[in-house]
Structure 1
Amino acid sequence: MNVQEAIDHYLRQVKRSKSPHTLAAYQRGLSAFADSLARSKAKIDVNETDIAALSPLWLETFLNQLQKQSVSTEHLYTTAVAGFYRYVAAQEWAAVNLSTLDFELGQRRSLGKRLHVFPESSLETVLEFMQSVAEQPAKTLPQQLTQRRDAALLFTLADTGLRVSEACSLRRGDLDWDHQRAVIVGKGNKQAVVRFSGRALGYIDAYLKVRVPLDLGQGRQGVLPLFARHDKRAAKKVLPISPRTAENIVTRYVVQALGEEARGTITPHTFRHYFVTRAARRHDILLAQNLARHESINTTSGYTHLSETEIDQAYAEVFDELPPPDEDSPPGKTLDQ
């Protein structure tokens, strides 16, 4: 049995015990693990390498390549790979030293406490680039559909705070154009209201207008996906894009706008951080919590990325506007004391 076959066995086990979203996340994590092995100095091909050769030291290679990923992605991917290692050990397909595995993971968790530099200006550069691409004339209908869809997707992620799985699950009928919002079933199978900006709706409307000829041949319009595939395999069918496709779309424009070195620094989830940060900055963290649909405000605080300058300005607005103490009052006391 080779490594890829063992991964497939493990994912089938995960499918039986985890949610579809968790399964998809584990699939991405193990795919990234396989890619990192192929790019390593040893150039390990998971389709050719026997599972008996599995080594915890491979995890070190993977962890080093996760430096550009967010801490949450890093944690998720290492959890998936560690689960795979333990599964292989339980099946006795390889002599895995679990103590070495735990040591590698322990090292990573300590590194995971590093300060996260939020790429806000880079994300806005990507949005500006996306806007310019959307304005360019397309040579073919598929190209026009792809450009309009990608613009609608990126600005929807930026202005709604939707998780990537939620965005990919949107249907045309979910949108309430008059009230600029949609009712979705989000994390934990909870129903929620999501607001849409005029900017996002403008890009969605432009995209759907180009898609009219395709949609008309599909029957009921309301059940059609909001963001559809436009590859050759989809042909004239209106099929939803997957979260992995959405990630690839984001990565494509990040690389085009910022260069290859920016690959992995901005993901669909980064757009959610961007959304929450803007809501907290322009209003307050309670509004950001409600818009992000977080049960705990502690979760929201982890999403907000205010600069030291912004914190200084906010402090000055609150405290520097206080009247100076009366000259006859001792320091630290008011007249009422």
Structure 2
Amino acid sequence: MNFQSQGTIKSDKPSIQECIQKFLENISLTRSENTFKTYRNGMNVFCEMLAENEISPESSVLEITEEFTAKFAKYLKYYSSATENLYINVYKNFLEFLTAENLIDINLFQVKQLIGQRIRKPGIRLPQFPQEDIEKVISYALELPSKLCENEMDSLINLRDCAFLITLADTGLRIHEACNLRRGDIDWFKKKAIIIGKGNKQAVIRFSERSILAMRSYLHTRGNLDGNSSRQLAVLPIFARHDKGAGKNILPITTKTGRMIVSQRVEECLGKEAVGTITPHSFRHYFVTCVLKKTGNLKIAQEFARHTNIAVTQRYTHLANDELDSVYKKIFDVDNQESQET
């Protein structure tokens, strides 16, 4: 392939290829292996773009200008919008690296403007979950405490899992937030708790009557274990491990255990084929959707979900489309029926 030779900038600066290698070496030292692979793939595509535009990777890095942004964005149109956004972000970080190393003098603000003008916006992924199946799992969870068990430990596990699943469904807590709950966090009279949630932000969580009752029943049955602990009750976890590894120690369940609880109870309730279709986060989706359906108020749903950006909450509004269809038919189909009758 004949790369362009006219207008090539001669300098003592390293080549584009050398800068790419240095950039990727830096990424390999500071990022995960998967992230490094993504960056490497992105820079490989960038090199493909250079070849298409007959620009040699051995050219001086000073060849790179703001115009490269438009060229690379055009080349990425062959990819999905998600991949396009991913690789253009790799390219932007490459330019920032070159600027920080004083290898090029480029207007990064202009680069960001060009990216904003030329890059497609990835489609919004709507939260999908089997609502009817979640409600079946909730009903199944409520029956767990009454199941006959061979020993006290199995009975205690049933009480814990019931309380855990109901709490997820009725509070919108994230999995790690639920696992980190302590007895002293909850004001049992006001049915509230103050937690440190996502982004290290303090938040007030409200509990339903049935979640409070489920937790109280579980903790009451666990009373002897808690009482024999050398730690203060307030610092003990709400949801504790009940396995051989924990022994008589009151240790909090991990997020892995939380996911296993959901998978196990989903399988028991719905069968093996349903495992994976409902996760701990599915209960959070369920919670937000219930708030929207009951109130119709997006701002209230945002507050309960603790979404910083209301656009995140808006993703759930599509789930009420069946109700909108029903209302629409009542308004317009009735009018059509009346006109036909007259």
TM-score (norm 1): 0.63
Q: Structure 1 pair 316/190, CA: closer, same or farther in 2 (3 Å)?
A: farther
Secondary structure at 2:240 match in 1: coil
Note if 1:225 corresponds to 2:202.
no
- 2:288 is aligned with what amino acid? V
Segments of structure 1 that go 5 or more residues without pairing to the other structure are 1-9, 15-79, 90-95, 321-337
Give the conservation status (yes or no) of the 8 Å contact 1:224–1:238.
Answer: yes
CA distance in 1, matches of 2:322, 2:38: 46
CA distance in 1 between partners of 2:199 and 2:42 (Å): 36
Moved more, 237-246 or 113-122: 113-122
User: Counterparts of 1:188 and 1:119 in 2: how far apart (Å)?
Assistant: 28
**AA aligned opposite 1:184:** I
Q: CA deviation at 1:312?
A: 3.0
Matched residue, 1:186: 197
Q: Distance in 2 between matches of 1:181 and 1:153?
A: 16
* Contact 2:127–2:285 (CA under 8 A) maintained in structure 1: no
Displacement of 1:139: 1.8
Residues 223/302 of structure 1: CA separation in 2 closer, same or farther (3 Å cut): same
Aligned pair 1:137/2:148, yes or no? yes
- Contact persistence 2:129–2:278 (CA under 8 A): no
Structure 2 counterpart of 1:82, from 26, 34, 50: 34
One-letter amino acid matched to 1:311: L
- Give the Cα separation in 2 of the matches to 1:112 and 1:262: 27
Q: How does 1:142-181 map to 2 (within 5 A)?
A: 142-181=153-192
Tell me: CA distance 1:315–1:220, structure 2 relative to 1, closer, same or farther (3 Å): farther
8 Å CA contact 1:273, 1:304 repeated in 2: no
Task: Give percent identity, aligned residues only.
Answer: 43
Question: How far does residue 258 in structure 1 lie from its aligned partner after superposition?
Answer: 1.4
Equivalence for 2:299:
286
Gap change, CA 1:301 and 1:243, over 3 Å in 2: same
Task: Look at both structures and tell me which one has the larger radius of gyration over its CA atoms.
Answer: 2
Question: Is the 1:164–1:268 contact (alpha carbons within 8 Å) kept by the matching residues of 2?
Answer: yes
Q: Which residue of structure 2 aligns with residue 19 of structure 1?
A: none
Equivalent residue, structure 1, for 2:279: 267
Count the aligned residue pairs. 239
Shift of 1:263: 1.6
SS of the aligned residue for 2:204 comes to strand
CA positional deviation for 1:305: 5.0
Q: Kindly state the Cα deviation for residue 310 of structure 1 after the two structures are TM-superposed.
A: 1.0
Name the counterpart of 1:20: none
Gaps of 5+ in 2: 1-26, 46-75, 87-120, 333-342
- 1:162 shift after superposition: 0.5
C-alpha distance in structure 2 between counterparts of 1:132 and 1:164, whole Å? 22
Query: What's the offset of the Cα at 1:106?
Result: 3.2
- The aligned residue for residue 70 of structure 2 is none
Distance 1:114 1:201, change over 3 A: closer
Query: CA separation in 1, counterparts of 2:195 and 2:34?
Result: 33
After TM superposition, the structure 1 = structure 2 runs for residues 1-337 of structure 1, keeping only pairs within 5 Å, are 82-83=34-35, 85=37, 99=44, 106=83, 117-218=128-229, 219-283=231-295, 284-313=297-326
1:63-107 CA distances to partner (integer Å, 9 max, x unpaired)? xxxxxxxxxxxxxxxxx77326359x7xxxxxx89758x979839
Task: Please give the TM-score of this superposition, normalised by the length of structure 2.
Answer: 0.62
Give per-residue Cα distances to partners, 1:254-287, cap 9 Å, x unaligned.
1221111112111111100100000011012211
Distance 2:136 2:261 in 1: 15
